[in-house]
């Protein structure tokens, strides 16, 4: 038991003070010391003892008393002890100054400086004072001055141990501060030399000195020798925490599993020896963070924080804590600790990680400005840090600064051409503006991942699938989606192994019992990162017309994620497509239960109500709600309101025309509003076109429609058949029937698979106006075939046949076939009208029975007339036939005669030749005879011969004459026929006149009346009112489908959740 003995003044006695029983109150001791005028070294011993016991106040009290002016006076000669006391106080303040924060720090240093100065005043050369000053300078960071102080001592005594250590540490610190690597190494080398000198000078020095050597070697990169040195320290002092920690860190740095294990063991041991070593605590916390033991992390870091005042270490501790909370998802707490961590750091170069964390937290909270600032700090230190660049890119994306975002991500791909994430982001950013580039980037990302044989993220494949989808490359899109989805319950749904039994509910979309049953048999899982892709896949299936499977997928989504509104809406749209309006409304109701302000659902409901005819007034409320829910920014709801107003203006109900005009005005205003927001909105342009068309401003309307028409022929997602129809209406109104017909036909074929009876009706009307009766009739028959229950079409077909007949009968020239056709058409017309007339007693299809009767009567009348015509025509035809027969016979006779003539000519010729020959022979004979006569002299025989020849000729002409007589007879019969025919002709025109008269009469005056009475005018009028109304209906319809189709297109633009992933 150590004790000090204070000699009692004036006696030989001493007061024994047991050092481990020092009184709590230092005043007691002080009293004794002062009273007995005890030697100063005793004061020091006692104060030191207090210090050792952690009784800082008592220590200070004694030493401050011991350095007071009384003491100075009294012990003026005891120089060394007085210096020692002052230096002790100086060291004390230096120590606290180091530990404390400003402003106490400054105060302590000031005190320390004063004490050392006082010590110097007592004896300038005292080395311990210089050493103390040196240490103070080290504490204050004034390394050069510290070095100077130590040098003074060392110049005196080259082996002064504390000075050597001091100087060594100064060099070491200089090395740490030094920016240039070479100079830093020089410093470490100097430091190492000094440590070595210290060791040589004082071989029994505490093992801690060897730590210096070890650290220097470590810094100099001589890792093995550093390790040896640390191990040596541990041999001497197995509980040296610093050495343990250093060795542990070196082990950890090997980055091998065994090394890390060894390192952690050492860390653990260090922790057991001294549980307050911040460095060890931080490392341990770091380790447990990666092993996921967050509770341990928190405990360790809290200890570390309470046991250290070192800024950087504290910062690291806060960082560990923040990271732990961050990964647990408690981002608010994490954010606070990141902030604390950042506050401990003077400049980002020291420790940059908390800035990353902070940036991520801000990003998560949507505080993009501050997040951006944090990441930019990171970039100051690491300008090519891809993660931070990507984070910044994401921030720009969120801020809507796409150009900057693209630039940032492009920079990432330049720095690291293998960063697939950046390619993904670039792809997604370019989805809307540049299809090809987006595809290129996404594909690059995919091939990068494939090369690295990493799992390709769902979002990437989803994005590629959507791009293909957009370009209508459905097979490729399907491949992508399938790859993204991988294996799961949906696969068995697609191949039919699951879900075949669930047909009964493939109609009842709201019944989910099947999934409940399924869940009893097997695990029904749908990972949340795949929901969007599954939804898109279902959209694709819809596009591929496989609505049965699409609806299954939507219902799977709803089963697992009952809040996925869009799935309800798609089901509602499918139900609507199947005309199951009731179910559609119920499904929308389900959606609205989840979010009563969901604009898409409101819009859909409104559209359905507008169609149902009963609820068209409430539809307006829906549209208005939808508009309000989107803050009036959603063009779709504005369009719908516009359409509603237009619809209201055209309601057939009786109302003041004033309201009609206001509705139109309102509609126009709304459409213009949409155009103001989005200049390229085709639906609004179309709407305005319609309003112009209503006012017969054809040219403006045409211009608008033509532009929309051209603009619409791009994407598969925007289809505007209405604009074709409207354009055709304009052609029609301007009398360009040919073009109107063509446009209607193209529209029918392109958009409706030729199934739209209404457009066929427009087409028929155009043919009607163009007086193309047959085309008109056939168009109407096709329409009836498609829509058999539309009796208006039947009426119209009757009218068209009636008109055809009348017009045929008006013609001045017509064939019997035409007239026959007229008769049968009239019979058909009568059949159609009489069926309608009877049917109207059963149904109320809006026809006046009387009107139909008039039509029937008129047709019957026409038929009677036509029958006469037909008979006449048939007679005429008969006669024509006969006439033709006669002509044919004449022709035959002519032919025969011609042949006979030829024959005769031929014979004549032959005879002539024979005659000539004969003559020659005769002449010869004659000559012979003459010669004979000359011999016998006679002339009469020649004359006789001549006459006989003439006789021959006469006979021939007689024959000819007979023939001529025959011809005359022929001519006579022909004349007779002609006369008869002429009579026929004469009769006919008269009849014709009569017919044209009656027909003309009917189509002239009486028909007007008749037509009006028969509702012909009406039917036209109906057509007329029918056309714009159904055009707007169409508009609504396609607007509806537009909104549906818009969804997948918008989807890729949604930020992927990856950027916010905290554990990165």
Partner 1 sequence: MKLAGLKSVDGAHEESIWAAAWAPAADHRPTALLLTGALDETVRAWRPDDLAAASPPARGHALGVLSLAAHPAGVIAAAVSLDSYIRVFDVDSGASVATLDAPPSEVWGVQFHPKGVALAAAGGGSGSVKLWDTEKWQPIASLPVPRPEGARPDKTGSGKFVLSVAWSPDGKLLACGSMDGTIAVYDAVRMKFLHHLEGHHMPVRSMVFSPVDPHVLFTGCDDSHIHIYDAKEKGLIGAMSGHASWVLSIDVSPDGMAVATGSSDRTVRLWDINARASVQTMSNHSDQVWAVAFRPPGGEGVRAGRLASASDDKSISLYDYS
Minimum distance from CB of 622 to partner 1 (Å)? 21
We find the least distance from the C-beta atom of residue 828 to partner 1, in angstroms, to be 5
Q: How many residues does the chain have?
A: 1064
Residues contacting partner 1: total by CB under 8 A? 43
Among 180, 753, 955, 1061, binds partner 1 (CB under 8 A): 753
Contact 612, 1038 (CB under 8 A): no
Q: Please say which residue, 394 or 584, places its beta carbon nearer to partner 1.
A: 584
Contact between 578 and partner 1 per CB under 8 A: yes
| Stretch in the footprint of partner 1 (CB under 8 A) among 123-131, 380-388, 577-585, 737-745 | 577-585
Cβ burial 34-72 (10 Å sphere, 16+ → b, else e): bebebebebbbbbbebbbeeebeebbbbbbebbbeeebe
Shortest Å distance, C-beta 835 to partner 1:
6
Query: Looking at 76, 223, 472, 507, which residue binds partner 1 (CB under 8 A)?
Result: 507
Torsion 681-684-686-692 (CA) sign: negative
Closest Cα to residue 854, out of 689, 1044, 1015?
Answer: 1015
Tell me: does residue 1041 bind partner 1 (CB under 8 A).
no
652 binding partner 1? (CB under 8 A) = no
Phi, psi of 4 (to 5 degrees): -115, 150
Closer CB to partner 1, 500 or 658, in the complex: 500
CA distance 924 to 874: 72
Q: Residue 917 interacts with partner 1 (CB under 8 A)?
A: no
Instruction: Give φ, ψ of 16 to 5 degrees.
Output: -90, 125
b/e 741-779 (16+ beta carbons within 10 angstroms → b): bebbbebbeebbeeebbbbbbbbbbbbbebebbebbbbb
Q: Please, which residue, 58 or 800, has the CB nearer to partner 1? A: 800
Site for partner 1 contains 479 (CB under 8 A): no
Give least dist CB 546 to partner 1, A: 5
Q: Using alpha carbons only, what angle is made at residue 990 by residues 987 and 996, rounded to the nearest 5 degrees? A: 135
> Is the CB of 432 or the CB of 546 nearer to partner 1?
546
Q: Is 579 in the site for partner 1 (CB under 8 A)?
A: yes
Secondary structure of 422-437 in HEC code, one letter for each residue: HHHHHHHHHCCCCHHH
Token digits of residue 922: 């005769």
Is 325 or 791 the residue whose CB approaches partner 1 more closely? Answer: 791
Pairing of strands 14-18, 3-7: antiparallel
> Which of 180, 789 has the CB closer to partner 1?
789
Residue 79 in the binding site for partner 1 (CB under 8 A): no
Tell whether residue 842 is a contact of partner 1 (CB under 8 A): yes
Which is nearer to partner 1, 464 or 836 (by Cβ)?
Answer: 836
- If one asks whether residue 719 binds partner 1 (CB under 8 A), the answer comes out as no
Instruction: By CB under 8 A, tell whether 491 contacts partner 1.
Output: no
Q: Does 692 bind partner 1 (CB under 8 A)?
A: no
Q: Does 790 bind partner 1 (CB under 8 A)?
A: yes
- Cα angle vertex 925, ends 921, 928, to 5°? 140
824 makes contact with partner 1 (CB under 8 A): yes
Binding of partner 1 at residue 781 (CB under 8 A)? yes
The nearer residue to partner 1, 739 or 790, going by C-beta atoms, is 790
Cα separation, 766 vs 737, whole angstroms: 6
**Residue 782 binds to partner 1 (criterion: CB under 8 A):** yes
- Residue among 600, 597, 610 nearest 568 (CA): 600
Minimum distance from residue 759 beta carbon to partner 1 (Å): 13
1023 phi/psi in degrees, rounded to 5: -55, -45
- The reply on whether position 506 binds partner 1 by CB under 8 A is yes
Specify the residue, 534 or 757, whose C-beta has the smaller distance to partner 1.
757
Distance between CA atoms of 63 and 148, rounded to whole angstroms?
Answer: 28
- Under rule CB under 8 A, residue 577 binds partner 1: yes
CA dihedral (287, 290, 291, 295) in degrees, to 10, reads 80
Q: The tokens of 346 are what? A: 């003077």
- Counting contacts by CB under 8 A, is residue 615 touching partner 1? no
- Binding flag, residue 295, partner 1 (CB under 8 A): no
Question: Is residue 850 near partner 1 by the rule CB under 8 A?
Answer: no
In whole angstroms, the minimum distance from the beta carbon of 597 to partner 1 comes to: 29
* Rounded CA separation 80/235 (Å): 37
Q: Which of 101, 369, 500, 943 binds partner 1 (CB under 8 A)?
A: 500
CB 575 within 8 A of CB 603: no
Q: Which of the stretches 106-114, 502-510, 723-731, 808-816 binds partner 1 when contact is defined by CB under 8 A?
A: 502-510
**How is residue 847 written in tokens?**
């026809």
Q: Return the residues of window 107-146 that contact partner 1 according to CB under 8 A.
A: none
Q: With H, G, I as helix, E, B as strand and everything else as coil, classify residue 416.
A: coil
Say if residue 676 is exposed, middle or buried (CB neighbours under 10 Å; 0-12, 13-18, 19+). Answer: exposed
Among residues 570, 592, 590, the alpha carbon closest in space to that of 1040 is found at 570
Q: How many CB atoms lie within 10 A of CB 903?
A: 10
Q: How far is CA 563 from the centre of its chain?
A: 21
Stretch of 104-112, 329-337, 820-828, 891-899 contacting partner 1, by CB under 8 A = 820-828
- Among residues 784, 799, 809, 1013, the one that binds partner 1 under rule CB under 8 A: 784
Q: Per rule CB under 8 A, is residue 867 in the interface with partner 1?
A: no
Residue 851 touches partner 1, criterion: CB under 8 A: no
Judged by CB under 8 A, the stretch of 300-308, 380-388, 747-755, 871-879 that binds partner 1 is 747-755
Interacting positions 8-67 with partner 1 (CB under 8 A): none
Q: Which of 492, 580, 673, 933 touches partner 1 (CB under 8 A)?
A: 580
Identify the residue among 651, 785, 918, 961 touching partner 1 (CB under 8 A): 785
What is the Cα–Cα distance from 1047 to 599, expressed in whole angstroms?
13
Burial of residue 82 (number of CB atoms within 10 Å: 0-12, 13-18, 19+): buried
Interface with partner 1 includes 832 (CB under 8 A)?
Answer: yes
Q: What value does the CA radius of gyration of the chain take, rounded to a whole number of Å?
A: 57
Should residue 729 be labelled a site residue for partner 1 when binding is judged by CB under 8 A?
A: no
Does 789 bind partner 1 (CB under 8 A)? Our answer is: yes
Part of the chain binding partner 1 (CB under 8 A), chosen from 270-278, 748-756, 897-905, 988-996:
748-756
Contact region for partner 1 (CB under 8 A) — 88-96, 454-462, 778-786, 867-875?
778-786
Pair of tokens at residue 66: 């011991």
From candidates 399, 472, 503, 997, binder to partner 1 by CB under 8 A: 503
Closer residue to partner 1 in complex, CB, 304/826: 826
Run of H or E including 32: helix 26-35
Task: For Cα atoms 30, 39, 89, give the angle at the middle one, nearest 5 degrees.
Answer: 65
Alpha-carbon gap, residue 1041 to 988, rounded angstroms: 62
835 near partner 1, rule: CB under 8 A: yes
Q: x/- string (CB under 8 A) for partner 1, residues 515-554?
A: -----------------------------xxxxxx-----
Binding segment (CB under 8 A) for partner 1, from list 25-33, 361-369, 723-731, 840-848 = 840-848
CA atoms of 3 and 8, how far apart (whole Å): 15
Stretch that binds partner 1, among 318-326, 727-735, 825-833, 974-982 (CB under 8 A): 825-833
Nearest CA-CA partner of 731 in 754, 701, 707, 711: 701
The answer to whether the beta carbons of residues 22 and 42 sit under 8 Å apart is no
Q: Does 778 bind partner 1 (CB under 8 A)?
A: yes
Binding site for partner 1 (CB under 8 A): 496, 500, 503-504, 506-507, 544-549, 577-581, 753-755, 778, 781-782, 784-785, 788-791, 797, 824, 827-828, 831-832, 835, 838-839, 841-845
């Amino acid at each position: 038991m150590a004790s000090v003995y204070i000699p009692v003044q004036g006696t030989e006695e001493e007061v024994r003070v047991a050092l481990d029983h020092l009184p709590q109150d230092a005043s007691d001791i002080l009293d004794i010391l002062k009273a007995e005028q005890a030697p100063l070294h005793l004061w020091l011993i006692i104060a030191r003892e207090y210090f050792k016991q952690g009784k800082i106040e008592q220590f200070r009290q004694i030493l401050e008393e011991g350095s007071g002016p009384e003491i100075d006076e009294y012990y003026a000669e005891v120089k060394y002890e007085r210096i020692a006391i002052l230096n002790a106080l100086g060291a004390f303040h230096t120590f606290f100054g180091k530990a404390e924060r400003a402003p106490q720090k400054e105060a302590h240093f000031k005190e320390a400086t004063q004490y050392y100065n006082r010590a110097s005043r007592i004896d300038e050369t005292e080395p311990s004072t210089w050493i103390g000053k040196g240490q103070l300078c080290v504490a204050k960071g004034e390394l050069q001055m510290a070095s100077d102080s130590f040098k003074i001592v060392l110049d005196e005594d080259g082996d002064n141990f504390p000075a050597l250590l001091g100087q060594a540490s100064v060099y070491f610190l200089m090395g740490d501060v030094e920016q240039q690597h070479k100079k830093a190494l020089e410093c470490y080398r100097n430091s190492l030399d000094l440590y070595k000198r210290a060791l040589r000078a004082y071989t029994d020095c505490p093992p801690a000195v060897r730590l210096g050597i070890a650290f220097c070697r470590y810094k100099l990169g001589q890792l093995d020798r550093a390790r040896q040195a640390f191990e040596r320290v541990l041999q001497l002092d197995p509980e040296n925490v610093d050495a343990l920690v250093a060795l542990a860190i070196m082990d950890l740095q090997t980055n091998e599993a065994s090394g890390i294990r060894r390192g952690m063991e050492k860390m653990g041991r260090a922790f057991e020896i001294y549980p307050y070593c911040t460095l060890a605590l931080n490392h341990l916390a770091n380790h447990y963070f990666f092993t996921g033991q967050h509770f341990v992390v928190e405990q360790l870091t809290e200890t570390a924080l309470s046991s250290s005042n070192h800024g950087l270490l504290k910062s690291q501790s806060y960082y560990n804590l923040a990271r732990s909370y961050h990964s647990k998802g408690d981002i608010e707490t994490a954010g606070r600790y990141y902030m604390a961590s950042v506050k401990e750091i003077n400049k980002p170069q020291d420790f940059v990680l908390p800035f990353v964390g902070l940036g991520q937290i801000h990003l998560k909270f949507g505080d993009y400005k501050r997040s951006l600032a944090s990441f930019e700090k990171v970039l100051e230190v690491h300008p090519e840090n891809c993660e931070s660049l990507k984070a910044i890119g994401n921030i720009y994306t969120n801020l809507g600064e796409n150009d900057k975002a693209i630039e940032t991500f492009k920079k990432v791909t330049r720095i690291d051409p293998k960063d697939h994430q950046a390619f993904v982001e670039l792809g997604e950013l370019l989805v809307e503006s540049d299809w090809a580039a987006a595809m290129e980037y996404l594909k690059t990302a995919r091939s990068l991942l494939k090369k690295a044989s990493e799992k390709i993220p769902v979002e990437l494949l989803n994005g590629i699938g959507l791009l293909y989808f957009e370009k209508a490359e459905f097979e490729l899109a399907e491949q992508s989606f399938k790859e993204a989805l991988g294996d799961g319950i949906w696969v068995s749904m697609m191949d039919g192994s699951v879900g075949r039994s669930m047909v009964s509910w493939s109609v009842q979309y709201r019944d989910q019992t099947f999934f409940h049953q399924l869940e009893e048999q097997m695990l029904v899982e749908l990972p949340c990162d795949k929901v969007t892709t599954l939804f898109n896949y279902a959209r694709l299936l819809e596009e591929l017309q496989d609505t049965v499977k699409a609806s299954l997928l939507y219902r799977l989504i709803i089963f697992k994620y009952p809040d996925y509104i869009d799935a309800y809406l798609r089901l509602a749209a499918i139900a609507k497509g199947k005309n199951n309006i009731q179910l559609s409304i119920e499904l929308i109701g389900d959606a609205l239960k989840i979010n009563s302000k969901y604009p898409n659902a409101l819009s859909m409901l409104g559209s359905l109500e507008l169609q149902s005819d009963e609820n068209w007034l409430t539809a307006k409320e829906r549209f208005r709600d939808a508009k309000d829910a989107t803050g009036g920014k959603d063009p779709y709801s504005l369009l719908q309101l516009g359409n509603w107003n237009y619809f209201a203006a055209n309601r057939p109900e009786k109302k003041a025309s004033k309201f009609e005009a206001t509705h139109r005005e309102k509609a126009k205003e709304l459409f213009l509003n949409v155009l103001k927001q989005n200049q390229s909105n085709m639906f609004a342009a179309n709407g305005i076109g319609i309003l112009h068309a209503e006012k017969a401003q054809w040219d403006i309307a045409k211009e608008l429609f033509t532009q929309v028409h051209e603009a619409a022929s791009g994407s598969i997602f925007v289809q505007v058949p209405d604009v074709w129809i409207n354009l055709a209406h304009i052609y029609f109104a301007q009398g360009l029937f040919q073009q109107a017909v063509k446009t209607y036909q193209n529209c029918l074929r392109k958009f409706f698979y030729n199934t739209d009876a209404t457009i066929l009706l427009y087409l028929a009307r155009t043919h009607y106006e163009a007086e193309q009766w047959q085309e008109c009739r056939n168009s109407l028959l096709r329409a009836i075939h498609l829509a058999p229950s539309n009796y208006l079409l039947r009426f119209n077909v009757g009218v068209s046949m009636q008109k055809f007949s009348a017009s045929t009968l008006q013609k001045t020239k017509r064939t019997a076939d035409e007239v026959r056709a007229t008769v049968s058409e009239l019979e058909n017309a009568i059949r159609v009208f009489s069926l309608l007339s009877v049917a109207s007693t059963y149904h109320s299809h809006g026809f006046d029975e009387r009107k139909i009767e008039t039509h029937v009567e008129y047709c019957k009348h026409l038929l009677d007339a036509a029958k006469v015509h037909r008979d006449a025509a048939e007679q005429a035809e008969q006669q024509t036939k006969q006439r033709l027969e006669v002509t044919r016979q004449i022709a035959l006779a002519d032919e025969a005669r011609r042949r006979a003539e030829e024959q005769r000519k031929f014979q004549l010729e032959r005879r002539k030749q024979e005659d000539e020959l004969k003559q020659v022979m005769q002449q010869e004979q004659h000559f012979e005879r003459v010669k004979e006569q000359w011999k016998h002299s006679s002339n009469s025989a020649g004359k006789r011969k001549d006459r006989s020849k003439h006789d021959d000729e006469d006979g021939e002409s007689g024959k000819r004459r007979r023939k001529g007589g025959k011809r005359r007879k022929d001519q006579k019969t022909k004349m007779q026929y002609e006369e008869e025919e002429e009579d026929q002709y004469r009769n006919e025109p008269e009849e014709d006149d009569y017919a044209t008269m009656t027909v003309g009469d009917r189509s002239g005056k009486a028909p007007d009346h008749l037509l009006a009475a028969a509702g012909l005018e009406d039917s036209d009028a109906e057509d007329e009112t029918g056309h714009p109304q159904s055009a707007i209906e169409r508009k609504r319809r396609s607007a509806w489908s537009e909104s549906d189709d818009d969804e997948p297109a918008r989807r890729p633009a949604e930020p992927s959740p990856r950027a916010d992933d905290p554990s990165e």
